[in-house]
């Protein structure tokens, strides 16, 4: 089954999904595999691999291969540019940072990557990616024209634009390590007006926050930082439980 169909099936069945983000530059390959296998045991639905800086073809390939040896859930590449393409991943988010001020993040890197992806034959899932305040590192390197935390109308407008452009999915990102997630009001407003599935990520660390994001209407909840510091098992377990309701 294609990864996109797997996601759409869950979304249609109203099962909020959890995805674990692993940055290939932040741990050894063995540790990445350990995180993925632990997350899978605890019920994560997919592993996303990516990071805003320091991703190389080498650390990306080695991380994806190490994860694929131990995990059965899909491994999805979450790219930051065309400089590295995860040829061993099950799918790649073919994404555009719709609120970047820099054309290269909207369509430039994508034009460079497309022929390589076509040649490799990797499944693509098209995604409209929007950065919300505070945006953190990805907002900075992506040169994002940040959506204000209290500006739900602009978030809805971006979501509708992505839907009308024919994208599969939208992702509202507060930035990895953000002090707080995107607000419930913003998520609920988008949910009420936009029909394509919505991913929410950035700053989700506690079961309470995960519950808030799920109840507001997220279809997929992404966490990354929570698995970055050693002893994460109990924290991840209660967070995934909250995502699943």
The C-alpha atoms of residue 200 and residue 242 are separated, in whole angstroms, by 14
The C-alpha atoms of residue 144 and residue 182 are separated, in whole angstroms, by 16
Rg (CA), the chain: 16
Q: Which residues bind ligand 1GP (CB under 6 A)?
A: 21, 173, 176-178, 201-204, 222-226
**How would DSSP label each residue in 17-36?**
EEEEEE-TTSS-HHHHHHHH
Is the Cβ of residue 183 or residue 223 nearer to ligand 1GP in the bound state? 223
* Shortest distance, position 159 Cβ to ligand 1GP, whole Å: 17
Is the Cβ of residue 128 or residue 201 nearer to ligand 1GP in the bound state? 201
Is the Cβ of residue 22 or residue 152 nearer to ligand 1GP in the bound state? 22
* Shortest distance, position 31 Cβ to ligand 1GP, whole Å: 16
* Shortest distance, position 241 Cβ to ligand 1GP, whole Å: 17
Instruction: Indicate the residue whose CB is closest to ligand 1GP.
Output: 201
* Shortest distance, position 181 Cβ to ligand 1GP, whole Å: 8
Q: What are the tokens at 154?
A: 């602009």
Is the Cβ of residue 21 or residue 89 nearer to ligand 1GP in the bound state? 21
- Classify strands 91-97 and 123-131 as parallel, antiparallel or unpaired: parallel
The C-alpha atoms of residue 16 and residue 109 are separated, in whole angstroms, by 31
């Amino acid at each position: 089954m294609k990864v996109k169909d797997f996601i759409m099936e869950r979304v249609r069945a109203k099962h909020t999904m959890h995805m674990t983000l692993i940055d290939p530059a932040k741990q050894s390959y063995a540790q990445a595999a350990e995180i993925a296998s632990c997350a899978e045991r605890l019920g994560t639905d997919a592993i996303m691999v990516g990071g805003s800086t320091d991703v190389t073809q080498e650390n990306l390939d080695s991380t994806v291969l190490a994860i694929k040896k131990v995990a059965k859930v899909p491994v999805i590449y979450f790219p930051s540019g065309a400089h590295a393409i995860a040829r061993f991943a099950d799918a790649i988010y073919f994404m555009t940072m719709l609120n970047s001020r820099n054309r290269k993040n909207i369509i430039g890197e994508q034009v460079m990557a497309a022929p390589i992806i076509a040649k490799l034959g990797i499944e693509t899932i098209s995604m409209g990616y929007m950065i919300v305040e505070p945006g953190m590192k990805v907002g900075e390197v992506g040169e994002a024209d940040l959506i204000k935390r209290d500006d739900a109308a602009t978030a809805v407008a971006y979501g509708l634009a992505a839907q009308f452009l024919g994208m599969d999915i939208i992702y509202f990102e507060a930035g990895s390590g953000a002090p707080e997630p995107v607000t419930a009001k913003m998520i609920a407003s988008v949910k009420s007006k936009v029909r394509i599935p919505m991913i929410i990520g950035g700053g989700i660390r506690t079961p309470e926050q995960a519950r808030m994001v799920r109840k507001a209407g997220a279809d997929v909840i992404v966490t990354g930082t929570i698995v970055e510091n050693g002893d994460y098992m109990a924290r991840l377990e209660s967070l995934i439980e909250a995502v699943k309701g």
